[in-house]
Structure 1
Amino acid sequence: MSQSPYPPWQPWEGQRVPQSWAGHRAPSMLASHAERERAVDVLRAGYAEGRMEHEEFDKRVARAYAARTVGELAVLVADLPQGPVERPAPAVPATFAPVARARTNGKAVGAALCGLLCVPTFGLTGIPAVVLGHMARSEIRHSGEGGDGLALTGLVLGWLYTAGWALVMVLVAAVTVTVG
């Protein structure tokens, strides 16, 4: 026979004076059927959580159904939680946790947009794309924001169209000087 983890005297065995159920009616008041069922529910929850052995659970349930007063019921459940026990949420391993995305720099978005608008505007938005692209890349380096690819796209497209317009102007000037 194994040694019981409980002291030799158990309060629910009726060897001591019953104590009142926390915040409940007087211990000498007769117990109702609903109060007995509530005590048995608390015992079931305690057993399901592994707080007592099956033999002890059976004894306590039998005593709960035989109890005449609220005090007798209170002694049966005094060492058990009276409601759901709050458990911490399970921790999600870092491998499965969602990755926080860095905020995209607004100037980088503007640089990419101006760079793409160079095509329909025949290069008029090239200089704003270059200016916004350089500003965005500087801010991204200092703040850790996202959008470096967008800023680089705006820079490349802006410089291509600005260089294209510069080449066109040089060619027009060369033709004008040569012809004129």
Structure 2
Amino acid sequence: MKQVNTSDQRYSDVEDAIIGAFERMTRVKAPEKITVTDIIRTAGIVRSTFYNHYQDIPALLESYENRTLNEISKMMTGRNLASGAEVCYEYFYEICEYTRNREYLRRMFRQADATGYIEKALTMIHVYAQHVLLAVDPTEQQEKDTSYAIAYSIGGVVGVLHKWCVLDCRDSSEEIARHLTDLFLHGTQEFIFH
């Protein structure tokens, strides 16, 4: 089999076209009904090009989910949510807009069978939050208390996003970001600002 140079710009462009085609297809078809034929027609590529990138649709789904997690992680990078309401609000607003613009992600938040993706997201966010909030040298008890506060807050964030997606994102991103900021800061305030 020919070795593929994944750092090549053309490879990256085709990757973006495939992901874009998948995102467009999720607006008209349930993800489990999307076929390779749907993707190649929408992306304007040939079947062999698709298979140079993915073994099958489940591999594409896994890659898409990982891509969204990486993009969400990049949104968090350099932000210390413990630094105040403005930073929290900006982050949550960005997450809301990101979610609103990705049908597959909204489906993931709505569906009960999206546990694998949700678990990965929760773990990623928990690791980030723990790193940020434990930047000071805490006692063992503070570390344990903070860990529980983070878990509580993350569960609440996911719950709010779930409810918002179930309601088809009818409320504005600004309103949801404000709610998330208030809930996050008040749910962890005692542990963040000690």
Normalising by the residue count of structure 1, what TM-score does the alignment of the two structures yield? 0.25
Which structure has more relative contact order (CA 8 Å, sep 6+)? It is 2
Question: Which structure has the greater CA radius of gyration?
Answer: 1
Bigger helix share: 2
